Amino acid sequence: MPDATNKIRIALAPGDGIGTEIMQACLDIFKATEVMDHVDFVPVEMGKSVFTKGDSRGMTDDAIDTLESCGLIYKGPMETPTGGGGKSINVTLRKTFGAFANLRHFQSLPGVETVYSRAGVPVDFYVVRENIEDTYGGIEHRLTADVVECKRLISAPGCDQVHKFAFRTAESFGIETVHCGHKANIMKMSDGLFLDRFYHTGRDYPGIECKDVIIDALCMNLVLRPNDYRMVVLPNLQGDIVSDLAAGLVGGLGFAPSANIGENVSIFEAVHGTAPDIAGQNKANPTSLLLSGLIMLRHIGLKRCAALIENSLLYTLESGVHTGDVKGEKDPVGTREFAAAIAQNLGKDPSGREARPVPESQAPTFTPPNRPRENRLMRTFETSTNRIAGCDIYIDTLLAPSELANKLSAICTGTPFKLTMMSNRGTQVWPSGSVYTEVVDYYRVRFELRDETQAGHIGQLPTVWLLEKVAEKFVITDFQPLKNYDGRPGYSLAQGQ
């Protein structure tokens, strides 16, 4: 037995509602194997109780310190109280600690009846979701009386992180094809960057075939032919939606594990709700949290324990033992009884599907992180050059496009810039467009260099002077310099341009 001082420390947050019950069930199963010989679980305070005390983070300072020193947390479902300004603690944890890749495994489980199990179609694939960026930055503003914006941020280093993780994971699992889900046909720059970095990263993994699929087609295909996919990597919002769709294919979120992997801190959690209506009644299903725990055990090198528990879980379900949320011929059992059955069946293998190979031995491989002094700056395009090409100015006005264009063209007279385009809700309304295009009180007006040979000779300051001139006459809601990067426009066209 390893010395207690050499055990891996894992922060433990049981969660709210049914969280305490399902976490205890998982810990009981862990105790029946060798897990506790290698691991110390360190309780931390997070969730509703912390929100109730007025801390909008949902976690105490001690919890943050413990998590940063451990580098691992095993957590149950947590509630974000309505009102009070507190944001989802699940999202806060992932973003604060840089857990950039969300890994979920969706597989048909014996005894869990679905449309696909009845049809004899096995489901077994992984979703890797970028976890930090996209619209989940939560950067939102009310721009005018009628318009609100949500800023979508996609970075090359963020793309590289999640794609490298996806390919490394696929390689370790023996997966031969990885798909990139995207909407680059519409969001040509943001999703376009995500897709470009996918193929760029894939060059380092010649044994894995790279494919891509537009997100709407992916959703349809997953319902029609889920076994066409083995691993899909997606941006944050799209990955969130596809993950829940995929959970529906295997019986719901109660059967879908979740791991959030970072360079230093990783989070293993149940992603279903807290189910307060059945809390304390010994009715909850611990399967999702247990499967998340198995990913955690494999992450820290306890692969023997993980394989033993997974085989026992499959055998237990196959033998008809189930909680009340699963249809079955036998009467349902409670949370504690379900966990006890899994513990008793350790060493037994399922017969209806291939069992997980059980290594003869195991050795923990996880090393706690060394706390950095500063936030790490990530770079991808370190040698890229850029030149000012103009600016987009966003205006709050009720003027019609033609009248607005006349006034703006007069304002930019005598400057290095000319008015070249105006759009409303992303659609061009000047110099060409349709009178059938309905407009709101928010315009994007684009000014570009009159003389393109001046690119590289004019800096940002003249665009600011132009902004000042426009601001004397109009209400400005936003301003964006336009740049060419390595000779290519770093800005998109409007619809219809």
Residue 5 pLDDT: 65
Which tens digits make up the pLDDT trace of 82-128? 655 557 788 889 988 999 999 999 999 998 989 999 999 989 999 99
Cβ atoms of residues 443 and 400 within 8 Å? no
Closest-CA residue to 296 (of 12, 3, 4):
12
Q: Does 138 or 287 have the greater pLDDT score?
A: 287
Cβ atoms of residues 159 and 165 within 8 Å? no
Antiparallel, parallel or unpaired: β 427-430 and 417-424: antiparallel
Residue 85 pLDDT: 54
Kindly indicate the confidence band of residue 164, based on its pLDDT and cuts at 50, 70 and 90: very high
Amino acid sitting at position 494 = A
Residue 83 pLDDT: 56
Kindly indicate the confidence band of residue 337, based on its pLDDT and cuts at 50, 70 and 90: very high
Amino acid sitting at position 101 = A
Cβ atoms of residues 234 and 184 within 8 Å? no
Closest-CA residue to 244 (of 235, 232, 234, 253):
253
Kindly indicate the confidence band of residue 267, based on its pLDDT and cuts at 50, 70 and 90: very high
Among positive and negative, which fits the CA dihedral 10, 243, 106, 16? positive
Which tens digits make up the pLDDT trace of 12-56? 999 999 999 999 999 999 999 999 999 999 999 998 889 888 888
**Statement: residue 81 has pLDDT above 80:** no
E strand segments, 25-89: 39-43, 72-75
Which tens digits make up the pLDDT trace of 118-158? 999 989 999 999 999 999 888 999 999 999 999 999 999 99
- Residue 421 pairs in a beta bridge with 446
What CATH number should be reported for the domain whose range is 4-344? 3.40.718.10
Measured between alpha carbons, how far is 311 from 349 in angstroms, rounded to an integer?
5
Which tens digits make up the pLDDT trace of 300-311? 999 999 999 999
- Residue 180 pairs in a beta bridge with 212, 233
Q: How far apart are the first and last CA of the chain?
A: 69
Closest-CA residue to 73 (of 93, 48, 95):
93
Q: Specify the domain boundaries for CATH 3.30.70.1570 within the chain.
A: 386-489
Which percentage of the chain shows pLDDT scores above 70? Answer: 98
Cβ atoms of residues 264 and 71 within 8 Å? yes
Measured between alpha carbons, how far is 208 from 456 in angstroms, rounded to an integer?
42
Closest-CA residue to 271 (of 306, 239, 299):
239
Measured between alpha carbons, how far is 376 from 372 in angstroms, rounded to an integer?
8
Closest-CA residue to 321 (of 334, 308, 306, 305):
334
**Statement: residue 414 has pLDDT above 70:** yes
Cβ atoms of residues 460 and 481 within 8 Å? yes
Measured between alpha carbons, how far is 392 from 276 in angstroms, rounded to an integer?
49
Distance of CA 110 to the CA centre of its chain: 28
Residue 390 pLDDT: 97
H-helix or E-strand spanning residue 288: helix 287-299
H-helix or E-strand spanning residue 238: helix 236-249
Count Cα neighbours of 450 within 13 Å in the Cβ-side half-sphere.
Answer: 9
Count Cα neighbours of 65 within 13 Å in the Cβ-side half-sphere.
Answer: 3
Q: Specify the domain boundaries for CATH 3.40.718.10 within the chain.
A: 4-344
Closest-CA residue to 256 (of 374, 127, 445, 163):
127
Q: Residues 209-218: what's their mean pLDDT?
A: 98
Q: Residues 384-389: what's their mean pLDDT?
A: 95
DSSP string, 345-395: TTT---SSSPPPP--S-------PPPPPSSPPPP-S-TT--EEEEEEEEEE
Residue 3 pLDDT: 53
Measured between alpha carbons, how far is 267 from 258 in angstroms, rounded to an integer?
8
Cβ atoms of residues 455 and 389 within 8 Å? yes
Residue 327 pLDDT: 80
* Residue 149 backbone phi and psi in degrees, to 5: -120, 150
Measured between alpha carbons, how far is 168 from 170 in angstroms, rounded to an integer?
5
Q: Which of 165-169, 351-355, 374-378, 455-459 has the highest average model confidence (pLDDT)?
A: 165-169
Query: Mean pLDDT of all residues in the chain?
Result: 94
Cα angle value 441/442/443 (rounded, 5°): 125
| Domain at 386-489, CATH class | alpha beta
Kindly indicate the confidence band of residue 258, based on its pLDDT and cuts at 50, 70 and 90: very high
Which percentage of the chain shows pLDDT scores above 90? Answer: 83
